[in-house]
Amino acid sequence: MEDLTQLIAGIDADALCRATVVTSDSEGVLVTTPNGELVTCDVLESAAVRPGIGEGDEVLVWLSRAAAERGVVLGRIRTAVRPTTGTETADELVLEAKTRLTLKVGDGSITIRDDGKILIKGKDLVSHAERANRIKGGSVNIN
């Protein structure tokens, strides 16, 4: 923690600002600063969370004093007006992990592994289908 405090103390506060993402692609993130300047930035790796930084997001940016250096997006800023309860509905949501993805709430979890195995754990599992409810596999073990 002391190293982080020293790092923050060494940052020129005037070089930090809020900005709005104009576009984002594999080449970097184009942001507009409060004074209307367009700046191309790299993204701090820990800030590159899925679903990713996108158009219209408000971000914290470090701007270099050297004109030849690109700025750096340090992270997305979540404002009070942005829903945090999962009320937004997307047409598609992709969560991606290299080896394992786990959704967990209390004693229940769903784990997807890179070898294709999917583990569903819970005290009770309930399956409802309005139409056919199929169980298909190389072998099916019940009890």
Our count of domains for the chain comes to 2
Q: What distance, in Å, lies between the first and last C-alpha atoms of the chain?
A: 51
Show the domain range for 99.
92-123
Tell me how long the chain is: 143
Is residue 60 domain-shared with residue 106, that is, in the same domain?
Answer: no
Is residue 31 domain-shared with residue 57, that is, in the same domain?
Answer: yes
CA–CA distance, 59 with 77 (Å, rounded to integer): 5
DSSP bridge pairs for 75:
60
Please check whether residue 83 lies inside any domain of the structure: no
Is residue 6 domain-shared with residue 42, that is, in the same domain?
Answer: yes
pTM: 0.42
Residue predicted with more confidence, 27 or 83: 27
Is residue 47 domain-shared with residue 103, that is, in the same domain?
Answer: no
> How confident is the model over 31-69, as pLDDT tens digits?
888 888 888 888 876 644 545 677 888 888 888 777 678
Is residue 17 domain-shared with residue 58, that is, in the same domain?
Answer: yes
CA–CA distance, 48 with 71 (Å, rounded to integer): 15
